[in-house]
Amino acid sequence: MKRHPKILQRENTALLVIDIQERILPVIFEHERVVENAVKLINGFKILNVPIYFTEQYPKGLGPTEPKIKTALGNSEAIQKMSFSCCGAGNLFDDLKSKNLEQIVVCGIESHVCVMQTVLDLIANGFQVQVAADAVSSRRKFDYETALRRMENNGAEITLTESILFEMLNVCGTDEFKAISKMVK
Set 19, 40, 70, 121: catalytic member: 19
Residue from 81, 86, 107, 121 carrying the catalytic annotation: 81
Q: Active-site residue 2, yes or no?
A: no
Q: Residue 100 is inside which H or E element, if any?
A: none
Q: Is it true that the peptide bond before 167 is cis, omega within 30 degrees of 0?
A: no
pTM (predicted TM-score)? 0.95
**pLDDT of 104 strictly over 90:** yes
pLDDT tens digits along 110-169: 999 999 999 999 999 999 999 999 999 999 999 999 999 999 999 999 999 999 999 999
Q: What are phi and psi of 111, to 5 degrees?
A: -55, -40
pLDDT digits (tens, 9 = 90+) for 145-156: 999 999 999 999
pLDDT tens for 30-53 read 999 999 999 999 999 999 999 999
Active-site residue, 121 included? no
pLDDT band of residue 1 (cuts 50, 70, 90) is confident
Residue 176: band (very low, low, confident or very high) from pLDDT cuts 50, 70, 90: confident
- Burial of 93-132, coded b for 16+ CB within 10 Å and e otherwise, reads beebeeeebbbbbbbbbbbbbbbbbbbbbbbeeebbbbbb
Structural domain spans, the chain: 10-184
Fold of domain 10-184: Rossmann fold (3.40.50)
Residue 63 has pLDDT above 90, yes or no: no
| Catalytic annotation present for 40 | no
